[in-house]
Structure 1
Amino acid sequence: MPFKPDLVDEVNVLIKFKDSTQEGIKVHKTAAPNLIAATERLFDKGMITQKDGGYLTPRGLIAVEHAHTLHDLLSSTAE
């Protein structure tokens, strides 16, 4: 089953976070509508603390770690 565009947008928001609960992000009202919507969905899923970003929750931290791992694996070249 392929990733739906909404999920891809959510992953793109997640990878903006560092692997830490100490550093948050802010998605401004001038951001692309799809990223604003993705950020709100992540809040509704309990992964971030605010509808416009904020900090990662424990659940969000796990998702970010996996998102960064997947990104790194797919970005690397086979040896």
Structure 2
Amino acid sequence: MPFSASHLSELNLLLQFPSTSTQEGIKVHAHTAAAETVEAAESLFEKGLISQKDGGYLTPMGCEAVELTQKLQSMLSGA
């Protein structure tokens, strides 16, 4: 099954989280962020990967997802 547009938005949002510290998060501003980014944040929250529906911090499962997403990005970019 190919990645859907919403999956790609979720992966791109995960890549915006700092991977070096669980004490740093992000905030998705609903009034300025793209609709797909807002929807991605809400979806990641519902899946238990982030702590707030508008960003927040990565959960332990979210940390693992970011690590895997970074590895996949690295493999695909040939780095």
Normalised TM-score (structure 2): 0.91
Which protein has the larger Cα radius of gyration, Structure 1 or Structure 2? 1
Counterpart for residue 3 of structure 2? 3
Aligned equivalents of 1:56 and 1:36: distance in 2? Answer: 16
Task: Give aligned pairs, total.
Answer: 77
What is the DSSP-based 3-state SS (H/G/I as helix, E as strand, rest coil) of the residue aligned with 1:37? helix
Aligned equivalents of 2:70 and 2:18: distance in 1? Answer: 9
Counterpart for residue 49 of structure 1? 51
CA-CA distance at 1:56 after TM superposition: 0.3
Pairwise CA RMSD of aligned residues? 1.0
1:73 maps to amino acid = M
Aligned equivalents of 2:51 and 2:4: distance in 1? Answer: 24
What is the DSSP-based 3-state SS (H/G/I as helix, E as strand, rest coil) of the residue aligned with 1:38? helix
1:3 maps to amino acid = F
Counterpart for residue 35 of structure 1? 37
Structure 2: which 5+ residue stretches go unaligned? Answer: none
Structure 1: which 5+ residue stretches go unaligned? Answer: none
Once superposed, which parts of structure 1, at least 4 consecutive aligned residues long, lie more than 2 Å away?
Answer: none
